[in-house]
Structure 1
């Protein structure tokens, strides 16, 4: 089951303080096992008289579990951080697995979703906009049908480690793996490769990968099923790989190191390469292999931007060489958008000329390009190949 979409329950307030009460009331994180880090020590016990406290943990287990089942996602997390016993009881409920995404770029966040509540989202954010005494605190926002619930914790110097350890805690309580993670530091790659074997989505930002060894660790140790984004890498410009990247969708910035064999031997459905060094002859090979149907059978969208040393006409002619293409037009049913990252939609550029290929199974592969001037008279090219089917 998944927690009901309710507000902060009154009876949980006896254990979680939204403001500091006193220095002596602050719970030592390691001593009390409220959390795994000093940053999570922001959660405190209210310094209230015993007569005002609600003896929740003294309830019979069947009653206690029924109470826990009616907590909101953030309430469950706060409750489970109170003690070993609270955590053990929270784990006894058979929760619907959460979609958990850890974002370590600023702001550092843990994003949570539950599939049976598509219009509600929960976020734990490590924030530094307010005075320390105001943390932790809650806020809710509604944008259209989506309701977002935030728990703000203080972003201290250890916020990244706190977020990693809190993520591990949430995974254990809800018996859910991390579905996605974005990484802004090279050291985090080693952590995720040890913490979990498979991820649905991974984002690795510019200059995080600073060595060939780290790149191979990403490719070999971090298994990604759906989507991987790799920012610019700070490695030798002569380095190349020939092995495929197994994720369904890949987006690579400054992708000079990705070669033709890596693409031809892969099973990717979407490939976006920025700063590519693929030649027009190699792009022509990709199109021929797709048309024959022997390789690239899963390909649905290919986008390559590069810089060329020749004029647009000769570059295009080399791409289209020996391909049996036909002219396309705006009324042939080709979609004008493409879904990227499985979540957001991008509108494709409007162009005057589209060439269509027909591949195995009757699918259409539309070829189109945009051009721009680059420095020193070079040509900036963005090549698009979109696979679609005509509707009967």
Structure 2
């Protein structure tokens, strides 16, 4: 968002577009207010108003940064309509502010504001013209700096975001990488070694050589891996994961049996709380379940959705 766009957006928020048609002497000199009064005014702005105000000038940004804001929850995602930045405050649990990038209108129409109410929840949208991913990155960095808040979660929908998030903020709670964003084993290895995911990591389909495998553990607490043919037995046994979900796995019944035995004995996989392995048995191989459960004293689930009361 340029300075001019920020000025237009700020005026739109306060329904003062007619000021643009008045002589400069009739405009309200907001930045000329005494500092105490100015800070008091800024503290009563909402999240989008604060962001837009901080984009007006370097001085405006400097003033906003002096205020001690509540920690802002920041998520960068993508939808069919384009990239979105989702913002929430812990003090406003039913309110979300969304910066949406798209090209549905002529560029001259932007910025556009919309709001909607769904039951007890309120959503405030700021629509900006999508000039490319660099604008989105700069906006996220700006918001993090202004509110002194880290990014909570990111959906990586194009490859350039991997290197950007590694350099800007490698330690992050939630990471999801879309299908075929990673197109080489080198890029996959780089992402797994340099991202520090503290909560949940999801990886979609990777467009890499099907002979590629890893033996090292993935050092994230919770994993969901689509097309996980490249994850091997040592990678799981030596891990410290609490949740593992593997889809389209190539693990054999013997591999699964080894994992379950190690988990049951407690020498390995001590942090593991939940394990799901989705695999396709070989045609005609009816003993898949029998071999994977061999020599295990298992209790069949009653398929109840309620929380178990016994171990």
SS of the aligned residue for 2:244 comes to strand
Shift of 1:47: 4.9
Q: Deviations over 1:267-308 (max 9, x none)?
A: 222211111101111111111111112222222222222221
Q: 1:230 to 1:326 in 2, by over 3 A?
A: closer
Deviations 1:40-76 (A, max 9, x none): xxxxx94542244211111111111111110000000
Question: Using a 3 Å threshold, how does the CA distance of structure 1 residues 172 and 268 change in structure 2: closer, same or farther?
Answer: same
CA distance 1:47–1:189, shift in 2 (3 Å): farther
**Unpaired segments of 5 or more residues in structure 2?**
1-5, 14-18
Residues 287-366 of structure 1: matches in 2 within 5 Å?
A: 287-311=260-284, 313-329=286-302, 334-335=304-305
Q: How far apart are residue 145 of structure 1 and its match? A: 2.2
So what's the TM-score if we normalise by structure 2? 0.89
Residues in 2 aligned to 1:297 and 1:204: alpha-carbon distance in whole angstroms: 27
Give the 3-state SS of the residue equivalent to 1:103 in structure 2. Answer: strand
The within-5 A match list for 1:30-45 is none
Over 3 Å counting, the alpha-carbon distance change for 1:289 and 1:83 in structure 2 is: same
Superposed CA RMSD:
2.3
Matched, 1:126 2:101: yes
Q: Which aligned pairs between 1:1-392 and structure 2 lie closer than 5 A? A: 16-18=10-12, 46-104=20-78, 106=80, 107-155=82-130, 158-311=131-284, 313-329=286-302, 334-335=304-305, 389-390=308-309
> For 2:96, what is the secondary structure of its paired residue?
strand
Aligned equivalents of 2:243 and 2:20: distance in 1? 52
Q: SS of 1:251's equivalent?
A: strand
Gapped regions of structure 1 (runs ≥ 5): 1-11, 20-44, 337-387
2: CA distance, partners of 1:284 / 1:48: 78
Instruction: Report the 3-state secondary structure (helix = DSSP H, G, I; strand = E; otherwise coil) of the residue aligned with 1:16.
Output: helix
Q: TM-score, normalised by structure 1?
A: 0.72
CA distance in 2, matches of 1:271, 1:14: 48
CA distance in 1, matches of 2:121, 2:310: 32
Contact 1:105 1:183 in 2 (8 A): no
Cα distance in 2 for residues equivalent to 1:140 and 1:57: 28
Q: CA deviation at 1:311?
A: 4.7
Q: Cα distance 1:251–1:47, how it changes in 2: closer, same or farther (>3 A)?
A: farther
Residue by residue over 1:320-366, the C-alpha shift from the partner in whole angstroms, topping out at 9 and shown as x without a partner, is: 10001234435xxx535xxxxxxxxxxxxxxxxxxxxxxxxxxxxxx
Q: Is the 8 A contact 1:248 1:270 kept in 2?
A: yes
Structure 1 consecutive aligned stretches of length 4 or more whose deviation exceeds 4 Å: 12-15, 310-313
Q: Per-residue deviation at 1:131? A: 3.0
